[in-house]
Amino acid sequence: MQRFGITFAALRAMNRILYSLVVSVVAVGHVWAGTLELEGQLMQGGLMQGRTDPDAEVTFDGQPVRISEAGVFLIGFGRDAPPQAKLVATFADGSREWRELKVGQRKYKTQRIDGLPPRKVTPSEEDLVRIGRETALIKQARAQDDTRTDFLNGFIWPAKGRITGVYGSQRILNGEPRRPHFGLDIAAPVGTPVVAPASGIVTLTHPDMFYSGGTLILDHGHGLSSTFIHLHQILVKQGDYVQQGDVIAEIGVTGRARGAHLDWRINLFTRRLDPQLILEAMPSAAAQAAN
């Protein structure tokens, strides 16, 4: 499959936002000692990678952040993230530095989808019980906090096709306002292969969830995960480790879906991120965004 991936290091050459925050100069045996550096998309839906002294402690909006042995960490911004966020680093010598990050604000599209089964828009009480059970499974899978850093090799497109839905859009389903869309929809025929956009461990497979149908979650380390939904067939099992580019599933039309497509979602724990912001470019065949 043609590669459209990008490593975080290459973001500098692509006009990505780069923040280099030198917080102190400490004579210790680490390349990143006393340095706090961020790169990525500093905006709603964005993901940023940081590097710092591996012995440092970092908090983001008051929550501790995992730091790898190489000093790598991740932070992310949800769809409706406020204009400011706070990053604090405490170093081994006791010095402490904080930064107020200015988060870019976005305007989102409105997307109307008609012709869905009424039950999929307004579930019954029995359906709500089922939805609750399935939501708990998804939350558990996305709560994994693994030390792996598979995300460092960048991401590729999991499938080729026309873009029919984008992150953040306000959904109007059968004329009823519903939750925003948190994924990237790629339309393609049933059976089209889905590949792993980055290496990782399969933390959830489910053949038929109420809303998402065939569902697969792949953990890339540090709480960063990909979710693939509306699948026709899942070709891996929970616990499998897959490499970037491995075929893991087939596109389908299961769950709350009107046509065959892949809905790909990116999470940093509970924060829902925009998959398009971590990709280098759209495949030419997929350059048409949803209206």
Domain boundary among 49, 77, 102: 102
Are 17 and 97 contained in the same domain? yes
Q: How many helices (H) and strands (E) does the chain have?
A: 2, 21
Domain boundary among 81, 102, 123: 102
User: Is residue 3 in a domain?
Assistant: no
Residue 256 DSSP SS3 = coil
Per the CB < 8 A criterion, the answer to whether 39 and 45 are in contact is no
Banded pLDDT at 261 (limits 50, 70, 90): very high
Instruction: Supply the pLDDT for residue 251.
Output: 98
pLDDT at 21 over 60: no
User: Is residue 1 in a domain?
Assistant: no
pLDDT at 109 over 80: yes
User: Is residue 266 in a domain?
Assistant: yes
User: Is residue 176 in a domain?
Assistant: yes
**72 closest CA partner among 116, 32, 123:** 32
Phi-psi region of 12 (alpha: psi -120 to 50; beta: other; left: phi over 0): alpha
Lowest-pLDDT range, 109-118, 163-172, 216-225, 231-240? 109-118
The predicted model gives 245-264 an average pLDDT of 95
Banded pLDDT at 96 (limits 50, 70, 90): confident
Using a pLDDT cut of 70, give the percent of the chain over it.
84
272, amino acid identity = R
Are 186 and 135 contained in the same domain? yes
Task: Give the CATH number of the domain where residue 234 resides.
Answer: 2.70.70.10
286, amino acid identity = A
pLDDT at 115 over 90: no
Are 98 and 114 contained in the same domain? no
289, amino acid identity = A
Instruction: Supply the pLDDT for residue 280.
Output: 62
Between 3 and 260, whose confidence is greater? 260
Query: What value does the mean pLDDT of the chain take?
Result: 85
Residues 6+ apart with CB under 8 A from 83: 102, 103, 105
Between 25 and 188, whose confidence is greater? 188
Q: What share of the chain is helix, strand, coil (3-state, %, to 5)?
A: 15, 40, 45
> Cα separations (Å) of 290 from 87, 137, 157, 287?
35, 30, 17, 10
Q: How many independent structural domains does the chain possess?
A: 2
Instruction: Supply the pLDDT for residue 290.
Output: 38
The predicted model gives 94-109 an average pLDDT of 91
pLDDT digits (tens, 9 = 90+) for 144-183: 999 999 999 999 999 999 999 999 998 888 888 888 999 9
Residues 6+ apart with CB under 8 A from 232: 190, 191, 214, 249, 250, 251, 252, 253, 254, 260
pLDDT at 71 over 50: yes
Task: Give the CATH number of the domain where residue 88 resides.
Answer: 2.60.40
pLDDT at 281 over 90: no
Banded pLDDT at 212 (limits 50, 70, 90): very high
Are 117 and 255 contained in the same domain? yes
Q: Is 56 exposed, middle or buried (0-12, 13-18, 19+ CB in 10 A)?
A: buried
Banded pLDDT at 258 (limits 50, 70, 90): confident
Residue range of the domain that includes 243: 110-286
**Which ranges in the chain belong to alpha helices (H)?**
118-121, 125-142
Banded pLDDT at 119 (limits 50, 70, 90): confident
Instruction: Supply the pLDDT for residue 34.
Output: 62
Per the CB < 8 A criterion, the answer to whether 25 and 86 are in contact is no
pTM for this structure? 0.84
52, amino acid identity = T
pLDDT at 123 over 80: yes
Domain boundary among 74, 102, 130: 102
User: Is residue 72 in a domain?
Assistant: yes
Burial pattern 149-158, b for ≥16 Cβ within 10 A else e, equals: bbbbbbbbbb
The predicted model gives 52-75 an average pLDDT of 95
The predicted model gives 94-122 an average pLDDT of 88
User: Is residue 291 in a domain?
Assistant: no
- At 149, list the tokens: 């850093």
- At 61, list the tokens: 């909006």
Are 138 and 220 contained in the same domain? yes
Lowest-pLDDT range, 4-8, 124-128, 155-159? 4-8
Are 175 and 96 contained in the same domain? no
